[in-house]
Amino acid sequence: MLCLGLETSCDETAVALCEDGRPVAEKLASQIDVHALFGGVVPELASREHLRRMGPLLRTLFADSGLTLDEVDAVAVARGPGLLGSLLIGLATAKGLALGAGKPLIGVDHLHAHLMAATIGREVPYPALGLLVSGGHTQIMLLRSALDIAVLGRTVDDAAGEAFDKAAKSLNLPYPGGIYIDVLGRDIEADHTLFPRPFLDNHHLDFSFSGLKTAVATYVAAHGELRLPVMPSPGGAIDPSAWPMPLRRVCAALNFAIADTLRVKMERALDSRDTGPVRALLAAGGVAANSRIRGMLTELAARRGLPLFLPRPELCADNATMIAATGCLLGRAGLTHGLDCDAVPRGRRVPWDYREGPPLGRPSVDRRPGPQ
Ligand code: KG4
Ligand code: ZN
């Protein structure tokens, strides 16, 4: 089954093709430059950029892959959660393509797609315990199968990515700052006492990162020399050795505080009778690219004797391959939407409101990946 996927939930405009869950081609236009000026995503600008970039991206995706819309078996699109105005651009485009070419439409939960990014090209033994860490979400999930997922714990306020980004902002590092905190904090001993590991003194699996965000901002305000006088220009390679050691120590301590908080709650979930035995660990979302968090999960999985499934770093961030791959999974199960499928804004749960029908797709075709 060949599925076209569209992603416009935040600040990446992306389109991709997957054949039976395997990536065939992707085109992605990042809007980081547009939003970096403002230190965060400006929703109005994001919608306009999606509108401007979507058409040309689709044209090059088909031209470079040598495939046509006619050969596609379904059009999958991220329907939420995300910025409403941005989602509407993707959804309206997907509906137009589905209607014009007579193809089924599949609305995809962006969070479901993030998790599925960890399963691309691999056989995951279920049930699996999943950690979803992104700019807007921090959740522990139980995956009974790829299509049967329950949330066991979630953040009650800010997500881990928000804590990284706000810490970076207070240090005058460019947006989005997670990658800077990650790289600058690498290869140095982390002070385990500098920042609190928040919200552990309880028995549940929820997270809260707003206190940690404040703790870092307060620490940086009290040590003014940590704040860079001039914001470095975003993009390009980050060479940690070129940065002041006190700043790098703050980054290392923050990487530790967030990674270890995630570890404690994942261990708690593994030990909980409500979770039951699991056969694998899985993590996804932009923050799952963090090297300290990847190291923590690798160590945890080895200690617990479980296989670990992590997406390639480029599939951790928002992308359309994960939407197309999840579209394949849903289409194969005969799950689609009508053209009345609506967008779901941030903070609302995406309903499981698929229509059930016969499995989509034709026998698998062996396609060579197109140029990326
Ligand atoms: O999943 P994602 O691309 O977008 C959302 O759906 O939110 O996640 C973006 C978040 C941002 O907060 C960004 O700073 C963070 O992921 N991030 C990282 C790293 N790379 C991206 N955080 C820590 N370490 C990284 N290497
Ligand atoms: Zn995302």
CATH code at position 277: 3.30.420.40
CB 269 within 8 A of CB 233: no
On whether residue 368 sits in a domain, the answer given is no
Q: Answer whether 0.85 is exceeded by the pTM.
A: yes
| Closest Cα to atom 21 of ligand 1 | 286
Q: How many CB atoms are located within 10 Å of the residue 321 CB?
A: 30
On whether residue 367 sits in a domain, the answer given is no
147 shares its domain with 294: yes
337 shares its domain with 255: no
345 shares its domain with 257: no
Distance between Cα 316 and ligand 2 center (Å) = 8
Residue recorded with tokens 């007579």: 102
On whether residue 371 sits in a domain, the answer given is no
Angle at 135 between CA 132 and CA 138, to 5 degrees: 35
Range(s) of the domain holding residue 191: 126-310
82 shares its domain with 179: no
* Atom nearest to 162 CA in ligand 1: 12
293 shares its domain with 327: no
* Atom nearest to 114 CA in ligand 1: 1
Per-residue pLDDT of the chain (372 residues; tens, 9 = 90+): 999 999 999 999 999 999 999 999 999 999 988 898 888 889 999 999 999 999 999 999 999 999 999 999 999 999 999 999 999 999 999 999 999 999 999 999 999 999 999 999 999 999 999 999 999 999 999 999 999 999 999 999 999 999 999 999 999 999 899 999 999 999 999 999 999 999 999 999 999 999 999 999 999 999 999 999 988 888 778 888 889 999 999 999 999 999 999 999 999 999 999 999 999 999 999 999 999 999 999 999 999 999 999 999 999 999 999 999 999 999 999 999 999 999 999 999 999 999 999 999 876 666 655 554
- Rounded to 5 degrees, φ, ψ at 28 are -135, 135
167 shares its domain with 279: yes
On whether residue 332 sits in a domain, the answer given is yes
On whether residue 180 sits in a domain, the answer given is yes
Domain count, the chain: 2
- Omega prior to 196 cis, within 30 of 0: no
Distance separating alpha carbons of residues 266 and 276, to the nearest angstrom: 13
Distance between Cα 83 and ligand 2 center (Å) = 11
89 shares its domain with 168: no
Tokens matching residue 147: 């299509």
- Rounded to 5 degrees, φ, ψ at 25 are -165, 150
* Atom nearest to 183 CA in ligand 1: 26
Distance between Cα 1 and ligand 1 center (Å) = 30
279 shares its domain with 159: yes
203 shares its domain with 342: no
Distance separating alpha carbons of residues 174 and 179, to the nearest angstrom: 10
Q: Which of 132, 159, 127 lies closest to 146 in space, CA to CA?
A: 127
33 shares its domain with 87: yes
188 shares its domain with 334: no
Pocket perturbation via mutation, ligand 1, pick of 132, 134, 261 by most ligand atoms within 8 A of CB:
134
257 shares its domain with 280: yes
Distance between Cα 186 and ligand 1 center (Å) = 17
Q: How many CB atoms are located within 10 Å of the residue 209 CB?
A: 24
On whether residue 204 sits in a domain, the answer given is yes
Q: Secondary structure of 221-286 in the HEC alphabet? A: HHCHHHCCCCCCCCCCCCCHHHCCHHHHHHHHHHHHHHHHHHHHHHHHHHHCCCCCCCCEEEEECH
Whether the CB of 311 sits within 6 Å of ligand 1: no
